[in-house]
Amino acid sequence: MESDRNGRASSGVTFTWAVSQWRAKLCDGPIHWAMTAGRGGNEAALRKAAAALGAELLAFPAGAPGDYPAAFAAMTAQGAQALIIGATPEFDRDAKQLADLALATRLPTICEWSDMAHKGCMIGYGPGRIALRKRLADLVAQVFRGVPAGEIAIETPTVFEFALNAGVARTLDIAIPFAIRASADEVID
């Protein structure tokens, strides 16, 4: 597995790093993670990562805002202890609503974009959007210069950002260890 500039896992599945930190620093017992299932294709990889870490992954379909309250009720009923909010345009758009529901049900959240921590997720960890956009601009420029699209290499993100919303952690009575705070690119109080 490759690492980002801070030595954190950069496999594209932020779950592995986040759960390993959670398991090592924040939780004594078994972890039951809920995942809001969108149209992303990460579920198989997330299940594999969960199994490797001794966590159980529960998936809850929630493709539209009208589905969210029922999904959160089901998460609570099934004993979920944390929530992964995947990187879909819909979940990004509805991040504030999802974070509010998670806070109301006392579920700490890990979101796949760092800026979602500003919208109420406890942890945002994923590819840096600015770096992605700069790289996209470079690729488009290559096409405009006449490079055939088939000759442009497929790339994975190399810059990952970790944002921690310490205010949400305090509200949920979760003590964030110094090592995790120190590894964050941004701490939101």
DSSP designation for 126: E
Q: For residue 7, is it left (φ>0), alpha (ψ between -120 and 50) or beta?
A: left
List C-alpha distances in Å: 22 to 15, 25, 30, 81, 159.
10, 5, 11, 11, 22
> What pLDDT is stored for residue 33 in this prediction?
55
Which of 8-13's residues contact partners 24+ apart within 8 Å by CB, and which partners? 8/125, 8/160, 8/162, 8/183, 10/156, 10/157, 10/158, 10/160, 12/45, 12/127, 12/156, 12/157, 13/42, 13/45, 13/46, 13/49
Q: What is the pLDDT of residue 164?
A: 94
Which CATH number among 1.10.645.10, 1.10.510.10, 3.40.50.2300, 3.30.70.3170 corresponds to the domain 14-125?
A: 3.40.50.2300
Q: What is the residue extent of each domain of the chain?
A: 14-125, 129-156
Q: Check residue 148 and give its pLDDT.
A: 93
The list of the chain residues with pLDDT below 70 reads: 1-42
**pTM for the full predicted model:** 0.74
The encoded tokens of residue 20 equal 């390993």
